Copies of this chain bind each other. A is one copy, B any other.
């Protein structure tokens, strides 16, 4: 059973709603609790009772808002991804120089990629890979894919300025992500380190910028 095969119950609202209306604040509380718990403990490690309790709501209410665990997880992932959308990533880049701007962008994305929630999300997806291809798609499109687009935009700008010489911008953007994640992302994933330090992030950014400019700078 895939996450999409079961819809949110009573999704289609009648024109004139009869009876007591759904409490939207409870709906939010449930998704929020689910989002935190799934990221914290993974899909299997989180029980519906836990979620109900954390949301301060009865279990029946959870099932009244969400058909099953998979659907709830799916929505929780959507929420978490939205919280981390890189919409603002390129906004206050102030176009000083290629190197300064590249560093600013890398810094922003490194913090996104290496943040606790980001790693937790990756782990959640790995854990649920068998049962949740849908989960991964939601994440990939709203997260890394969106970020990839922003990076390409950024690179194109400096290519047009003649400061970068790149054959394949898509690949170059991928390279940036790969370099920023580096080795620490994986180490954190498997629990060999339990926090990615500020220093480590800065080091990754510096290395990435240096490598990237050496490869593609004009």
Of the residues B41, B129, B174, B183, contact of A190 by C-beta under 8 Å: B129
Q: Secondary structure of the A side of the interface?
A: helix
What is the copy number of this chain in the assembly?
Answer: 2
A40 → chain B closest CB, angstroms: 10
- B127 touching A191 by the CB < 8 A rule? no
Tell me if A192 counts as interface (CB < 8 A to partner B): yes
Contacts of A137 in B (CB 8 A): 192
Hey, what's the 0/1 contact readout for A102-137 against B, CB within 8 Å counting as 1? 000000000000000000001101110110110011
The CA-CA distance from A190 to B118 in the complex, in Å, is 14
Interface residues of A (CB under 8 A from B): 41-42, 44-45, 122-123, 125-127, 129-130, 132-133, 136-137, 139-140, 171, 174-175, 177-179, 181-183, 186, 189-192, 207, 211, 214-215
